[in-house]
Amino acid sequence: MTHILGFIEGIGGPELMMIMFIILLLFGANKLPELAKGLGKSVREFKKAASNVENEIRHAMEDTAEEPIKKSPPTSALEYGHQMTLTEKVVPPPAPK
Protein backbone atom coordinates (compact mmCIF):
# COMPACT_ATOMS: atom_id res chain seq x y z
CA MET A 1 0.00 0.00 0.00
CA THR A 2 1.38 3.40 -0.92
CA HIS A 3 1.32 6.19 1.62
CA ILE A 4 0.16 9.58 0.43
CA LEU A 5 2.00 11.28 3.26
CA GLY A 6 5.02 8.99 3.16
CA PHE A 7 7.40 11.77 4.20
CA ILE A 8 5.68 11.94 7.64
CA GLU A 9 6.38 8.27 8.33
CA GLY A 10 9.70 8.95 10.09
CA ILE A 11 8.42 11.68 12.43
CA GLY A 12 8.57 10.61 16.06
CA GLY A 13 8.18 12.32 19.42
CA PRO A 14 11.29 14.55 19.36
CA GLU A 15 10.66 15.73 15.81
CA LEU A 16 7.02 16.51 16.59
CA MET A 17 8.03 18.51 19.69
CA MET A 18 10.49 20.52 17.58
CA ILE A 19 7.79 21.30 15.00
CA MET A 20 5.39 22.42 17.75
CA PHE A 21 8.10 24.63 19.27
CA ILE A 22 8.77 26.30 15.89
CA ILE A 23 5.01 26.91 15.38
CA LEU A 24 4.83 28.43 18.87
CA LEU A 25 7.74 30.76 18.05
CA LEU A 26 6.25 31.79 14.69
CA PHE A 27 2.69 32.50 15.80
CA GLY A 28 3.07 33.22 19.50
CA ALA A 29 1.04 31.86 22.40
CA ASN A 30 -1.81 34.34 21.88
CA LYS A 31 -2.43 33.36 18.25
CA LEU A 32 -2.38 29.56 18.69
CA PRO A 33 -5.98 29.23 19.98
CA GLU A 34 -7.23 31.38 17.09
CA LEU A 35 -5.20 29.31 14.64
CA ALA A 36 -6.60 26.05 16.06
CA LYS A 37 -10.16 27.42 15.98
CA GLY A 38 -9.79 28.47 12.34
CA LEU A 39 -8.33 25.08 11.43
CA GLY A 40 -11.20 23.32 13.20
CA LYS A 41 -13.80 25.42 11.35
CA SER A 42 -12.11 24.68 8.04
CA VAL A 43 -12.10 20.94 8.66
CA ARG A 44 -15.75 21.05 9.78
CA GLU A 45 -16.81 22.98 6.65
CA PHE A 46 -14.89 20.57 4.41
CA LYS A 47 -16.57 17.54 6.01
CA LYS A 48 -19.98 19.22 5.69
CA ALA A 49 -19.41 19.96 1.99
CA ALA A 50 -18.17 16.42 1.32
CA SER A 51 -21.23 15.00 3.10
CA ASN A 52 -23.56 17.20 1.04
CA VAL A 53 -21.95 16.06 -2.20
CA GLU A 54 -22.23 12.42 -1.12
CA ASN A 55 -25.92 12.88 -0.23
CA GLU A 56 -26.64 14.55 -3.58
CA ILE A 57 -25.00 11.69 -5.48
CA ARG A 58 -26.88 9.09 -3.42
CA HIS A 59 -30.17 10.97 -3.95
CA ALA A 60 -29.59 11.20 -7.71
CA MET A 61 -28.84 7.47 -7.92
CA GLU A 62 -32.03 6.63 -6.00
CA ASP A 63 -34.11 8.89 -8.26
CA THR A 64 -32.84 7.25 -11.45
CA ALA A 65 -33.38 3.76 -10.04
CA GLU A 66 -37.00 4.51 -9.11
CA GLU A 67 -38.04 6.08 -12.42
CA PRO A 68 -40.08 3.64 -14.51
CA ILE A 69 -39.07 3.12 -18.10
CA LYS A 70 -41.59 4.94 -20.25
CA LYS A 71 -42.85 2.88 -23.14
CA SER A 72 -44.52 4.47 -26.13
CA PRO A 73 -48.07 3.34 -26.92
CA PRO A 74 -48.36 0.42 -29.34
CA THR A 75 -48.44 1.38 -33.00
CA SER A 76 -49.22 -1.91 -34.73
CA ALA A 77 -51.61 -4.80 -34.30
CA LEU A 78 -48.73 -7.06 -33.28
CA GLU A 79 -47.82 -4.74 -30.43
CA TYR A 80 -51.44 -4.92 -29.25
CA GLY A 81 -50.96 -8.67 -29.00
CA HIS A 82 -53.24 -9.44 -31.92
CA GLN A 83 -52.19 -11.43 -34.95
CA MET A 84 -53.99 -10.51 -38.13
CA THR A 85 -55.43 -13.08 -40.49
CA LEU A 86 -55.59 -12.67 -44.24
CA THR A 87 -59.30 -11.85 -44.20
CA GLU A 88 -59.14 -8.95 -41.70
CA LYS A 89 -59.08 -5.35 -42.78
CA VAL A 90 -56.14 -3.23 -41.76
CA VAL A 91 -57.43 -0.65 -39.30
CA PRO A 92 -55.04 2.07 -38.14
CA PRO A 93 -54.57 2.44 -34.38
CA PRO A 94 -56.55 5.16 -32.64
CA ALA A 95 -55.08 8.64 -32.86
CA PRO A 96 -53.48 9.93 -29.66
CA LYS A 97 -55.42 12.66 -27.91
Domain limits at 52? Answer: 38-66
pLDDT of 1 higher than 50: no
pLDDT of 76 higher than 50: yes
Shortest CA distance to 27 belongs to which of 40, 18, 36?
36
pTM (2 decimals)?
0.43
pLDDT of 77 higher than 60: no
Neighbours of 77 (CB within 10 A): 15
Q: How high is the pLDDT of residue 42?
A: 94
Q: How high is the pLDDT of residue 32?
A: 83
> For residue 57, is it within any domain?
yes
Total domains, the chain: 1
> For residue 42, is it within any domain?
yes
Q: What share of the chain is helix, strand, coil (3-state, %, to 5)?
A: 55, 0, 45
Mean pLDDT for all residues in the chain: 76
> For residue 85, is it within any domain?
no
Residue 38 has φ and ψ, to the nearest 5°, of -65, -40
pLDDT of 87 higher than 80: no
> For residue 10, is it within any domain?
no
Q: How high is the pLDDT of residue 16?
A: 84
> For residue 49, is it within any domain?
yes
Torsion angle defined by CA atoms of residues 33, 38, 41 and 45, in that order, rounded to the nearest 10 degrees: -160
> For residue 54, is it within any domain?
yes
> For residue 62, is it within any domain?
yes
> For residue 32, is it within any domain?
no
39 vs 64 pLDDT, higher one: 39
Rg (CA), the chain: 34
